[in-house]
Structures are given as C-alpha cells and as structure tokens.
Structure 1
Amino acid sequence: MPVRFRKISTQIFLAQLVILAVSMAVGFVLFTQEARSNLDHEYQARAAAIAQTFAQIPTVRGCMGSSPVSTGCSATMQHLATSTADSTGASFVVVIGLDRVRYTHPDPALIGQKVSEPIVTKDGKVHLRVDPGATGVSANARVPLYAPGGAMAGEVSVGIRESSVSSELFAQLPTYAAWLAVALAIGAIGSWLLARRMKKRTFGLELDEIAHLLQEREATLHGIREGVIALDPDGRISVINDEARRLLGLSGVPLRRRLNEALPPGRIRDVLLDEGGVEDELVVTDDFRLVVSRMPVVLNGRPHGSVVTVRDRTEVEALAVELTGTRSLTESLRAQQHEFSNRMHAIAGLLELGRLPEALSYVHEIRGTSADLDETLRAHIAAPQLIGLLLGKAAEAGERGIDFVISPDTLVGEVPERVQALTTIVGNLVDNAFDAVAATPAPRRVELSIVESPDAVVVRVADSGPGVDDDAAPHLFEAGFTTKAADLAGHSGIGLALVHAAATQAGGSVAVTTGPGAVFTVVLPRPAARFTTEES
C-alpha cells in the first residue's frame, strides 16, 4: 500500500527534493556530454600540434621532397614516427604522399599501401576529426607537409586514442559529481527551510485543513444576511460577500480595488472610510436603511486593515413605522377613553343636580368636537394605516398644545402600493413639524395635506415654526444632520433622511420652503397600471 504524506511541509520538501534530484541528474548528463566534447576538441588540438611539429622536421621534409621516396628515407621516417608516437602518447603518426601512399604506419604491413581517402590538406589547412581508423577510434588531426622548396609533398596524420579521452573524463567525473552532490545538499536544506517557513505562515494547517477552511469561509461568508467587507492596510477590498455587494451597489467591483474608488461620494462613503472606526452607525441610502460598523484589525500590535459590516434595516424600519402608527392609534384611544371618563363624570354630575338643559348642551358640544376629527379622517382618507397614524399624531398634538389641522383638500384612497412610503413620509414630516413648533409661543399650528391625483400623491406639511435657515437647507436630508435643540436631538438627524430615501425609492421628490414657517412638499408618482384598472 503506497505511503501518503499528509503534512504540507513534508510534501513540499519531497517535491522540491525530487525536482532538484532530477534537475541535477539531467544537468550532470548534459555536463558530461559537454565535457566529453571539450576533451575531444582538446585532444584533436594536441594531435594537430604533434602533426605540425612532425611536419617541420627537416629529415621528413627532405625525404618527402625527393621523388621517388627511397627505402632508406621511408625507414628513417618510420623510426621518427614511432619515436614521436611513443614520446607524445599518440596512437599513430602516419606520413602520406600526394599519391595517397603511406610511408609510415604503426602496422608495417600497411606501409606502401594507399589510403582510401583523398588528400584533404591540399587546401593548406589543418583538418580535425574523430577517426574510426585501423588502430581504433581516435582524435585525429591532419596537417599539410611541404618539401624544402615549399612545394606540397603530402600530409601528416596524427591520432590519439579515444580511450585516453575517456580515461581523463572518468578521472574528472568524481570531482564534478562531488560538486553536484554539494549543490543538491544545499538545495535540499533550502527546500527544507522553505517548507518550514511555509508551514509557519499557514499557522501549522495542512492542505486538507486549508481547503476545508476555505470552503467553510465561502459558505459562511455568502450565506449570512449581513454584508461583510475586509480591507487591507491600504484600503483595498480583499474579501466581500454577495450581501455587501447588493447593499452597497458593488456588484461589478473587482477585488483589490480601493474602497474610496468603488463608492460614490456621499454619507455611506464617508462612514466606511472613517479609519477611526464606527459602530452601528445608521446610514440612509436611496434604497436601504443600513446599520454600518467598521472595526480596525490589529495583530501583534500591527495594523492589518479593517472589517466592515453592513446590516439591512429597511424592513425593520418599515415595520417600526407601522408599529408607530398602531401605537399612535392605541395612545389616541387611551387618551379618548380617559377624556370620555371625565366627560361622563361631568354629565352625571349635571344630571344629579337636575341641570338638564346644561347637560343636554354639553352632550351636543362633546358630540361635535370629539367626532369632528374622526369624521374628517374617514371622509378624506381610505387607508386605515394613515388614519391610525394621524389619530395618534392628533392625540400627541393635543398633549403638546399644538393645533393639528387636516387640510380640507385632503383626499387619498387606499393606495396599497404607496401606503408604506406614505406612513414613513407623513409620520416623519409631522414629527419634524411638531418639534419645530414646540419651542415657539402659542398659537402653534401644523397643517397636513395629502392629495391623490391620477398622476401622483402629493403630501404637504406646513408649520408655524421659525422656518429653515438658508445655510441649513442644502443639508436637511443628510443622515445625522439636525437643527433641533439639544433636548430634542436624542433621535434626530434621521427623520428627514428617511423621508428623502422613501421618496427617492418611490421615484418621487422632496422640496422645502425656508419660511418663516417651513413647508415640506413630497410628490410620489403613481403607477400607470393602477389608473388603467380603476378607469376600466
């Protein structure tokens, strides 16, 4: 059964060791071939030097210059050739005439015999080769031989056996092998150190564990309903999940891009780029109500970037608005019940005193004042959510000494496709108007108008407060901006931003007149399909 190495350091070390060994083996073979080639050239050059020296011997030149070559000259040259071969280590020194006849040779039987090859030195050059001759394979050099008068008389061929070349190569190989072994050992030590370093950099985790962690991270990162962004120390996006891309509009932004380049200018960009860190900061965009946090990451006392989390509070805020309307209705009913008890006590007292005319007049007065608002709302507004919201606001206005008036031109149906946006817009605008007139002397007045037409729903809220400063007007709808006094600023800075976001998301617009007495006007376009259905 094959052995499997699970440790990443062992796998890296063995892989690099195999690569080094194979590389060294291939290099050793190539080096050996190159060394053999170099030795061949070296021995051919040595043979050429021997041949040139022999061709310069006066006796040889004189003998080859005579025609025909005498037997005595041939014997003399044979003796010189044998002596030269013995002293230089050459395997043969052969003198060949222009008639291709051998005059010297290690094998006496071949002296006087013709060679099969032509005289190649007629061009006056030295010729080198590996010659598989009669004496065996040898490094061969052939040089021209000239007579004393300068005429060409033949050539001298000298060979050195290849066995000598091989012997020298084999003598050098152990040294080369030792150097390669040292290089392999150094490479193995370096591979081992690298494997240990990588093991340390991966916190001791193995490959399977790293792969498992990556799979878990991806599943967790993209499975949660919260946007997560990891930034490196340079502010570049290193990790981002699908929810963060959806909430921040970063669907096409690649990794490694700077966050300040990916986000457009605005409140959300300012909050996310705060390197000091933010915690649960509420930010309103055109599409969402977001709770944003940015926490710096410090490891071993060194900054390693930061982590940004983004939570969608849009649905929660919508439910909170509906809950506010329900609570307002409940508070209104509570106040009416309390007031009803007081009025019943007054009527009972008048009847007990026998003051029937006064009791009857008081009953008529109560009937007119208490039913007036309910009848007005039901006559002009069909959406029960808005009725409940406004009843609660009316009760609050009574408690705060504010005259809350529903404009006679108010007329709105159930508008199911706009009721959530309307409750957000009306509730926040009325609250803002109440706060604006709270610090002013009586009479304090807030007037609400909601007019539905085939093209749009127009909401208008006017108050008798001091109005809006010209310097503050451009910033009214920014999240966190407020002009309220400190005792009213506990939850301020978000209401008008929610109004602007709800109107923008519905395709509408918000306008304000600075006053004195601010007037906010919101226009929400209506879907054309609704009117087509109603008209048909």
Structure 2
Amino acid sequence: MFPRTPRRRQGRRLSTRILASQVAILAVTSVIGFILFAWAQRAQLDNEYEQRALSIAQVAAGDPQIREGMTDPASGSLVQATAERIAHSAGASYVVVIDLNGIRHSHPVIGLVGRRVAEPIVVLDGKGHVGIDQGATGRSANGKAPLLGPSGGVIGEVSVGIPENNAAGKLWRELPTFALYAGIALAVGCAASYALARQLKRSTFGLELEEIAGLLQDREAMLHGIREGVIAFDPRGRITLVNDEARRLLQIDTALGLQPKEVLPEGRLRDALDGTLTGNDLTVLTDRYCLVVNRMPVGLHGRELGAVVTVRDRTEMVGLLRELDSVRGLTDALRAQQHEFANRMHILAGLLDLGEHEAALEYAVESAGAEPALTESVRQRVGNPLMVGLIVAKSTVAAERGVRITLTEESQFGEQPPHLRGLLTIVGNLLDNAVDAAVSEAAAPGAAHVRLSLLETRSAITVQVADSGPGVPSEAVESIFEDGWSTRPDRGTARRGLGLALVNRLVQHHGGTITVSRGAGAVFTVTLPLYDSDPAPAAQIAKANLFELAALGDDRW
C-alpha cells in the first residue's frame, strides 16, 4: 500500500545532520547579520559626521571675521584665512564660504576662489542642510549653514566637508568588536544546536530519519490493512489514532484530539475505551455488533505514552458459538431421551415377559400421550406455531435438567402477533435464564419450576417469566441488564452476560419496558406496545443484524 522509501545517507547520524544544518544556518545568518550591522553602522557614522560638519558650518557662519569679510569687500582675504584656520582646527577637509551669487570666497584649492559653484544655494530657507558631497576634494560628509548679515538676512552659505575616510576608518576600528560579538553568538548557537540535536535524538528513541519514515509507512499500512479496530490515546486520554476498522465498528468519524466522552454516548463501550472498566476481552454489545474490547497501557523507557485499545468484531463468531452450544444442549437432551426411551422399552419388555399385557398397554398409552398432551396444552393458549415450538422445546430440555416449565392459564397469544422475531428471542433468553436459576437453587428433584405467562391484549403484549431460583441480588438490579453482567461463569462455548443485555436492547428498540423483582424467585416482566412508538434511526438500521444475532442462540446471565 505504501512503498518503502530506500534508506540513504546511512553514515550520518540524525544528531550530526541536525547539528550540521543548524551550524550552517547560524553561520549564514551570522554573516548576513554582520554585513547588515556594518551597513547600518556605516549609515549611522555618515549621519554622525554630517551632523558634525553641519555644526562646524554653523560655527563658521557665526564667526565675526567671516561675517565681516563677506560684508566688506576690502577684507576678502580675511575670509580665506579664517576658513582655513577653522578647517584645520576642526579636522574638516574644507570650509567653503559662498555668497548669494554662488561665488566662492574661500576654498582649500586657491584656484577655485572667486569662481562660481555649480550647485544652487540651498540655505535660502534659513535652515541647515546635510548630505554626502562628491566635490573637488573627494567624497565627504557635508553640512551647509546659512550665513547671516548684520540685518539678519541670509547673505551667503558656509559649506563644510569631513573626509569619508574618517568615517570608514572609525568603522574598520569597530568591526573587530562586532566580529567578536558575532563569533560569540555563533558559538552559543552551535552549543544550543548541539543540545537540541541530543534532545531530539532522545525524543525519537535513537531512531534515524529514514527509520522514522519507514515506521510511519509500516504503521499506516498495518493499521489500515488489518481487520481489527485500533484506537490510540495519549497520556491525557485524547484520541490520537483511529484506523478504518475502528471507525466502522464504533460508527465514529471525526475523533482525533477528542476524548471518548465527546464522541461516544454514556455506556459500557465508552467505559471500556477510557479505562473505567478493566479486564481482558471485555464483551460489549452495540446496536449493530458484539465487540470484544481490550485496553493496554503503552510505555517506553519508563515514559507513559498513553494506551492502545483493540476492538474485534465477534458478532458472527459469538452467534456461531451460541448456536453450537444450543446444538450441544439439544444433543445432550436427545441422548437423555434416548436413555429414557430405552428404559421405557425395557419396562414394556419386562411386563410382556411377565404376561402383564394390560399393565404393559396402560404404560405404553400413558408414555405415548405425555408429549402430545404437553403440545396440545400449549396450543390451546398460544396460536403461533413458532412460539409453540419454542416453548415445547424449552420444556423438554428443562425437564431433562429436572425443571418443570408451566404456561399459566390466563395466557393468550395470537397466531400472528407483532414483534414475533424479537418475542422469540426475549422468551427464549428469559426461559433459559430461569431454568439455570431454578436448577442452581433446587433442593430436591422436581422442586425446580418455571412459570411462563404470555398475554396479548389490544394495546400491548406482556411476557412474564418467574422461577424458583435465588432471585436477583438487590445491589445488582440496576446493572443486571448491562452487557457483560453475570452471576455465573461461561458455560461451554457460550459467553455469559449478553442474554439480558440483548433482551433489554430489543425491548428498548420496540419502545417497551422490562422490570425484575427483588428477593427470592426472580420475576421478569416485559411489556411491548403492539406498534413501535418511535424507534431510533440507528436501531432501524441495525435491526436485521441485531435480530440475526438474537436468533442464533440462548445466552445466559
């Protein structure tokens, strides 16, 4: 179903591959971060030197000698001398003073003094301006300040430049420190990556990536290919896995991440899944299936990983086992009847040998009329032949076990009653339960008896079965109809604890009621309306399967 991925790179362990990948990522990000940081630092240094150049320009614009030289043409040489002095003392590459006509009055290149600049005057707004200047002295951080006259008006511009190599030199002096920080960060990241790789290795229980992928493929192929339901739970009881068979048997769809109480109704099935019920091979009866549920806690290396629940469909198998057990019971009864018939033949042969012909005739007539009398007695009150056959067969088998089944005088049952198939299952299971209870309590031969009442009226059908057994314990009255409840161990191949649960589900399906008495001598009373009131949709869908299971045998409680 899932092709197995061939394993590659067997020589490199998972932790090594994770560490190498993390180190490569950290190295690349460190280099990129270092470059970006250097770029940002260079931009910051440029801005810093631009502001420094602007400050020098503002100082020069406020110098009295420069202002005097710009207002008095006779003092023109004073401007050049003062600008050179300021540039030298401030470490600037140039201090250029320009009038409003764009004529230079100072410049580090003497030949440019008196010549017009190509750029327009930008300080006419009375504010300072900064930028990068690519002038005659090379690339510089530039600051321009307005030069004010005596009246406060702008009479010129002072432009100051600081060589770019100053900013570059400072940046190169700072880069080793940045590189050290990046190296420390890379080392810490490598150590953290190594610890993470070790932790991931422990989390995967030493498995390599190819092994994990292979296990996933095998798990998917196995879980969805087996004919057994599998449900996995995490340590908090949430469903983490449901295979296809489990979805079919439990009739659930979206369940991942949820708890059993969120996807299943209250009952024995939910208790078996969440661990409330403990034990092996828990039998659970649903509307459609007879299931066997097992829950197993899962742990690895001392860690609790949750639990795995397996669900097996035993509907057909349980039905066959119950049918086989019924056949064995009938075989035992026939064997006993054979011995009884042989005894009767021996008695007749003895009477004839003694010449007691009249006594032999009377004994033969009495023996021959016993079974027809029982059948006729049942036929007078029960019109349906299937129900008659069931009662007579159960009476015969019970008689071989020393239990007498009697049909009450007030019983009245029609030829074509509603719910016939369900009634056959209900009566058969209740009679079998009653016979078992009566046999267990019988103190003397012939003392055990079971009384059956069938009454069909215009509105309902009432079935009542009473036995001479010990009765139902008071503390068990509430749980007696739960699947799996039983007072006796399994008999032969038949699984106990399903009969009364099945009867209860049939009664609920038809909108009826079932009650049981307390104290010695259990009395079960079932009342079914002539027509189903409002059967559940799920029960309607499951009707055929459930009745097929019910008709296959005689489960006991």
1:29-67 superposed Cα distances (whole Å, 9 cap, x missing partner) = 32222112111111112212222233333322222121x
Match in the other structure for 1:287? 288
The letter of the residue matching 1:430 is L
Match in the other structure for 1:501? 505
Match status 1:236 vs 2:234: no
Count of paired positions: 514
Match in the other structure for 1:31? 37
Match status 1:48 vs 2:50: no
2:104/2:112 contact within 8 Å kept: yes
Q: 390, 393, 396: which one pairs with 1:394?
A: 396
The answer for unaligned runs of 5 or more in structure 2 is 1-7, 533-539, 545-557
Match status 1:356 vs 2:362: no
Query: Kindly tell me: are residues 491 and 226 of structure 1, through their superposed partners in 2, closer, same or farther at Cα, counting changes over 3 Å?
Result: closer
Match in the other structure for 2:179? 177
Counterparts of 2:406 and 2:329 in 1: how far apart (Å)?
14
Match in the other structure for 1:165? 167
Match in the other structure for 2:347? 346
**Where does 1:261-340 land on structure 2 (aligned, <5 Å)?**
261-275=262-276, 277-299=278-300, 303-340=304-341
Counterparts of 1:150 and 1:513 in 2: how far apart (Å)?
116
Aligned CA-pair RMSD: 4.1
Query: How far has the Cα of 1:140 moved from its partner?
Result: 1.0
**Where does 1:101-112 land on structure 2 (aligned, <5 Å)?**
101-112=103-114
Q: 17, 20, 33: which one pairs with 1:14?
A: 20
1:264-321 superposed Cα distances (whole Å, 9 cap, x missing partner) = 2223334444458332233333333333333344555564433333333322222233
Query: Kindly tell me: are residues 146 and 511 of structure 1, through their superposed partners in 2, closer, same or farther at Cα, counting changes over 3 Å?
Result: closer
The letter of the residue matching 1:478 is E
Query: Kindly tell me: are residues 25 and 301 of structure 1, through their superposed partners in 2, closer, same or farther at Cα, counting changes over 3 Å?
Result: closer
Match in the other structure for 1:534? none
Which stretch of structure 1 is more off in the superposition, 354-363 or 277-286? 277-286
**Where does 1:352-431 land on structure 2 (aligned, <5 Å)?**
352-370=353-371, 372=373, 387=389, 391=393, 394-405=396-407, 424-431=425-432
The sequence identity of aligned pairs, in percent, is 44
2:385/2:415 contact within 8 Å kept: yes
Query: Kindly tell me: are residues 323 and 418 of structure 1, through their superposed partners in 2, closer, same or farther at Cα, counting changes over 3 Å?
Result: farther
**Where does 1:441-520 land on structure 2 (aligned, <5 Å)?**
445-447=449-451, 460-463=463-466, 465=468, 475-479=479-483, 493-504=497-508, 507=510, 509-512=512-515, 514=517, 518-520=523-525
Query: Kindly tell me: are residues 435 and 277 of structure 1, through their superposed partners in 2, closer, same or farther at Cα, counting changes over 3 Å?
Result: closer
Counterparts of 1:132 and 1:314 in 2: how far apart (Å)?
94
Query: How far has the Cα of 1:477 moved from its partner?
Result: 2.0
The letter of the residue matching 1:20 is L
Query: Kindly tell me: are residues 15 and 471 of structure 1, through their superposed partners in 2, closer, same or farther at Cα, counting changes over 3 Å?
Result: closer
Query: Kindly tell me: are residues 194 and 253 of structure 1, through their superposed partners in 2, closer, same or farther at Cα, counting changes over 3 Å?
Result: same
1:349-371 superposed Cα distances (whole Å, 9 cap, x missing partner) = 11211222222222222222245
1:512-533 superposed Cα distances (whole Å, 9 cap, x missing partner) = 4759873544759799xx9xxx
Which stretch of structure 1 is more off in the superposition, 393-402 or 131-140? 393-402
Query: Kindly tell me: are residues 470 and 199 of structure 1, through their superposed partners in 2, closer, same or farther at Cα, counting changes over 3 Å?
Result: closer
Larger relative contact order, structure 1 or 2 (CA cutoff 8 Å, min sep 6): 2
1:397/1:434 contact within 8 Å kept: no
The letter of the residue matching 1:223 is G
1:512/1:521 contact within 8 Å kept: yes
2:69/2:77 contact within 8 Å kept: no
Match in the other structure for 1:212? 214
Counterparts of 2:475 and 2:23 in 1: how far apart (Å)?
74
1:229/1:244 contact within 8 Å kept: yes
User: What TM-score, normalized by structure 2, do the two folds share?
Assistant: 0.78
Query: How far has the Cα of 1:429 moved from its partner?
Result: 0.9
Counterparts of 1:389 and 1:22 in 2: how far apart (Å)?
89
Query: How far has the Cα of 1:209 moved from its partner?
Result: 1.3
SS at match of 1:402: strand
The letter of the residue matching 2:434 is A
1:332/1:392 contact within 8 Å kept: no
Which stretch of structure 1 is more off in the superposition, 462-471 or 146-155? 462-471
1:100-148 superposed Cα distances (whole Å, 9 cap, x missing partner) = 2111112222111122333322332221111122222211111122345
Query: Kindly tell me: are residues 11 and 300 of structure 1, through their superposed partners in 2, closer, same or farther at Cα, counting changes over 3 Å?
Result: closer
